[in-house]
Chains A and B, each alone.
Chain A
């Protein structure tokens, strides 16, 4: 079974631009979550999508948004980029069956975004 794939793997943008990152979950997984990983703040939860609906959201400004398509693929968009948005953005998928608290998440390799 193919793992979680993220594209692109690396991205360089300038301040004020916007960016879209893509995530394809493992086949059959209906939940996709996004995380931001930085050396200073660690791993922080951005949002989770399930069946095309945002189910949970972390504490990030409205410049960060996402969506999920009917095939469970997800995109994350960041508008008006700031230097502080430079980070590794990780996507994770899970089956999201039964008690969601116990679901294992499967992580992609990440997209490294550099904002100049």
Chain B
């Protein structure tokens, strides 16, 4: 069946480090893919999305490319900041279901 597998956390990095959070999926159709973020004490909010293969979503310095050949949607940022500390969710959305990854807690040290 359809599923989303995301990198286990927690992930701790120093400020200005390069970030990758891996996300892979299995799909029976052509889903859209999202990254949502949950900052401490706040609700979930959309970070970026891609609706078809080879699309690249980007926002706030974060990027992710929808790779159909590797069924992946890895989240990357070239230089993280303390304010990026949050929980990140990879999300798969099809016409009939939406599946959240388990979430990756990211902590950035000053």
Contact = CB atoms under 8 A, between A and B. Distances in A.
Contacts of A33: 98
Contacts of B36: 107
Contacts of A43: 89, 100, 103
B43 to A, nearest CB: 4
A92 B99 CA distance: 14
Contacts of B26: none
Given A90-B43, A107-B44, A101 B99 contact: no
Given A42-B102, A56-B96, A101 B44 contact: no
Contact of A42 (B42, B44, B103): B103
Contacts of A103: 93
B51 A101 contact: yes
Interface in A73-116: 90, 92, 99-110
A102 B32 contact: yes
Contact residues on B (Cβ < 8 Å of other chain), bracket: 20 to 34
B17 interface: no
A102 B93 contact: yes
Nearest to B46: A104
A44 B49 CA distance: 20
Interface residues of A, number: 24
A102 B102 contact: no
Contacts of A109: 42-43
Contacts of B93: 100-103
Interface string A39-55: 00011110010000000
B79 interface: no
A96 to B, nearest CB: 11
Interface string B44-56: 1110010100000
21 contacts: A42-B100, A42-B101, A42-B102, A44-B100, A45-B100, A48-B98, A56-B98, A99-B51, A101-B31, A101-B32, A101-B93, A101-B94, A102-B32, A102-B49, A102-B51, A102-B93, A103-B93, A104-B34, A107-B36, A107-B44, A107-B45
Interface of A: 4, 33, 35, 42-45, 48, 56, 58, 90, 92, 99-110
